[in-house]
A and B are shown apart, each in its own frame.
Chain A
Amino acid sequence: DTGVSQDPRHKITKRGQNVTFRCDPISEHNRLYWYRQTLGQGPEFLTYFQNEAQLEKSRLLSDRFSAERPKGSFSTLEIQRTEQGDSAMYLCASSLGREQNIQYFGAGTRLSVL
């Protein structure tokens, strides 16, 4: 499967714990995006990378959230001191720079904070 892959698919954690999600984009795609989606809503932009550079962060991304893409390939999204309001589907997408609006999404990581 050469699509966008995300791991884990599901994560259940207790409030206050830290969690980390991984995204592997389509191999030749230089742009990588993180979105968050809650029930009944469309995805909300969180941040994006071009290669290893993080170019934009949403105001939704509080100080507890950090994302990295150290070698311009896979990316990680870490949430520290999780809160119940962090419960959501976290979606990763990737695109080629010249076709940046055509984004291919992974299946997402569903986070439940108890």
Chain B
Amino acid sequence: RKEVEQDPGPFNVPEGATVAFNCTYSNSASQSFFWYRQDCRKEPKLLMSVYSSGNEDGRFTAQLNRASQYISLLIRDSKLSDSATYLCVVNIGSSNTGKLIFGQGTTLQVKP
């Protein structure tokens, strides 16, 4: 079983749609959670951290469910520029070493 699992998609949605991505992680000792964004042939970039209470950044909302070991990302009012691969990322273990474990990524295509 992979340490971080995501549905690879692709998710094809029209502009203005709301889309949600999910991710599960296997290590219950994981301490920190993130969503990174990766554009085609580019490097990953931090989109947002995910906090236990849930957090929002503009059109993006992230949720964490520690009991179910589940992380989600909701994108409202999708823009063409949101087309990218969204990587679910976990810092494994209690020592918080900075060693990040990435999911496979979920590809989003927003169409006009």
Contacts and interface: CB of A to CB of B under 8 A. Distances in A.
Interface of A: 31, 33, 35, 40-45, 48, 55-56, 91, 95, 100-103, 105-108
Going nearest first, the 5 A-B pairs with the smallest beta carbon separation are A42-B102, A100-B98, A105-B43, A43-B102, A101-B32
A107 B42 contact: yes
B98 A91 contact: no
Contacts of B103: 42
Interface residues of B, number: 23
Given A40-B8, A42-B87, A105-B43, A100 B102 contact: no
Nearest to A103: B100
Summarize B's interface: helix, strand, loop or mixed. strand
B97 A100 contact: yes
Nearest to A43: B102
Among A40, A41, A55, A101, which residue has the most Cβ atoms of chain B within 10 A?
Answer: A101
A102 B105 CA distance: 18
10 contacts: A31-B98, A33-B98, A42-B87, A43-B87, A91-B44, A100-B98, A101-B91, A105-B44, A106-B43, A107-B42
B101 to A, nearest CB: 7
B51 to A, nearest CB: 12
A101 B49 CA distance: 9
A2 to B, nearest CB: 15
